[in-house]
């Protein structure tokens, strides 16, 4: 009997039992017990019927699994232990390093925004190039009338320090225990995703805030140079509620509505004490798990690369506010490679893996963001 026929028989039996109950030939408890068992089996059958058939000859289904299986064996035993078929399933980059299978790479990039503050707030796109022209990202010319008649155009006033967002090399080292490597493929995949994403998240997040640019092999951070306009606080060595409100309203209205604060943890602690004219605290705790605290109604995020409030006599940037998604763009170049380093950590029972990420970042709309700067005096 196939699954469809079995399903039809079960439904018929359930109907007959219901009729018996209606005639008093079956108690309510007996019918309930029978109904529960039948419904469980019906659910199982319906799930199996709806499930698409698995073809062992389907190349599209087998290929990703073959790649992953070969990759996990490479992680456990090294490239020398692979069969010719497994070596063929793996893909190498132009330097000969093994590329992480696309499915696992996608999982890593899905995980990154959960632990990288700026990546979760900015615009993120992919590229196949080593650089992306920056001005073309945001330059839009507008004007009333027909363009072919020579109507005057309003040109963007954006003049970034460089014309391009460059893709930079970021290496992350993670060490995995030999016992963990011997775990199941599913467990090992989870370890790989978690280890590799955490290996690079902090480094890239710091660079998106304070990176010094392509000349130093880093993304261009929001605080780098004078690309983003500074708003001066009213006094040295401290910030006030007025300073923070001034920072908010220095951002144009179209970007303010999606504005967020980025400060470090010490600065947020200082902000918790600030009150408005009605003696109400401007900082408010999150009322929902996973959601940020707020200041003056705007979300506030912690990123420790934003400097502390400097002591009196010293100047420094202390807070970022604006529409980060509109103002900052991250570019990922796909193709994440990994190098196995077994000898370095063999005595510790560990195997090292050096992951190579390629990522760039830069401010594309300076007008969408402002930075609060505490003056020296």
Tell me the per-residue pLDDT of 207-217, one tens digit each, with 9 for 90 and over: 999 999 999 99
pLDDT at res. 54 = 39
How buried is 191 (Cβ within 10 angstroms: 0-12 exposed, 13-18 middle, 19+ buried)? middle
User: Residue 202 carries which DSSP code?
Assistant: H
Give Cβ neighbours of residue 300 (< 8 Å, ≥ 6 apart): 260, 261, 262, 263, 268, 271, 283, 292, 293, 294
Separation between Cα atoms, residue 105 and residue 286, nearest integer Å: 32
In sign, the C-alpha dihedral spanning 99, 105, 109, 111 is negative
pLDDT at res. 371 = 98
Separation between Cα atoms, residue 242 and residue 250, nearest integer Å: 12
pLDDT at res. 91 = 87
Give Cβ neighbours of residue 4 (< 8 Å, ≥ 6 apart): 49
pLDDT at res. 142 = 65
Below-70 pLDDT ranges, the chain: 1-7, 10, 14, 18, 21, 23, 31, 38, 40-64, 135-143, 145-162
Tell me the pairing of strands 123-127 and 328-333: parallel
pLDDT at res. 160 = 47
pLDDT at res. 52 = 46
pLDDT at res. 59 = 46
Separation between Cα atoms, residue 368 and residue 365, nearest integer Å: 6
pLDDT at res. 46 = 60
pLDDT at res. 320 = 98
- Predicted confidence (pLDDT) per residue in 240-295, tens digit: 999 999 999 999 999 999 999 999 999 999 999 999 889 999 999 988 877 899 99
pLDDT at res. 151 = 53
Give the global pTM.
Answer: 0.75
- Enumerate the β-bridge partners of residue 125: 331
pLDDT at res. 51 = 46
């Amino acid at each position: 009997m196939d699954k469809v026929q079995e399903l039809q028989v079960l439904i018929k039996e359930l109907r007959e039992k219901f009729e018996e109950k209606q005639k008093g030939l079956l108690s309510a408890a007996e019918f309930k017990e029978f109904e529960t068992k039948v419904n469980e089996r019906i659910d199982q059958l319906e799930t199996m019927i709806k499930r698409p058939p698995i073809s062992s000859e389907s190349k599209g289904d087998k290929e990703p699994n073959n790649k992953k299986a070969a990759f996990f064996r490479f992680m456990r035993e090294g490239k020398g232990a692979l069969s010719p078929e497994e070596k063929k399933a793996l893909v190498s980059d132009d330097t000969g390093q093994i590329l992480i299978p696309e499915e696992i790479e996608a999982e890593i990039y899905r995980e990154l925004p959960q632990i990288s503050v700026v990546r979760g707030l900015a615009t993120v796109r992919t590229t196949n190039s080593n650089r992306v022209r920056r001005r073309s990202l945001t330059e839009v010319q507008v004007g009333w009338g027909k363009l072919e008649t020579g109507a005057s155009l309003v040109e963007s006033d954006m003049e970034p320090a460089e014309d391009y967002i460059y893709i930079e090399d970021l290496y992350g080292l993670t060490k995995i225990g030999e016992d963990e490597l011997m775990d199941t493929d599913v467990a090992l995949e989870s370890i790989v995703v978690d280890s590799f994403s955490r290996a690079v998240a902090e480094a890239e997040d710091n660079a998106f805030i304070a990176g010094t640019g392509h000349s130093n092999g880093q993304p261009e951070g929001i605080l780098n140079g004078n690309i983003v306009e500074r708003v001066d606080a009213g006094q040295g060595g401290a910030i006030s509620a007025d300073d923070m409100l001034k920072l908010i309203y220095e951002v144009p209205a179209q970007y303010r509505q999606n504005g967020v604060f980025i400060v470090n943890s010490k600065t947020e602690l200082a902000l918790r004490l600030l009150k408005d004219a009605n003696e109400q605290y401007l900082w408010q705790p999150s009322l929902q798990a996973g959601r940020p605290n707020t200041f003056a109604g705007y979300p506030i995020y912690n990123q420790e690369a934003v400097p502390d409030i400097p002591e009196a006599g010293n100047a420094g940037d202390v807070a970022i506010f604006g529409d980060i998604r509109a103002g900052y763009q991250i570019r990922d170049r796909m193709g994440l490679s990994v190098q196995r380093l077994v000898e370095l950590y063999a005595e510790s029972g560990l195997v090292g893996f050096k992951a190579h990420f390629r990522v760039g970042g830069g401010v594309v709309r300076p007008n969408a963001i402002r930075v609060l700067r505490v003056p020296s005096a």
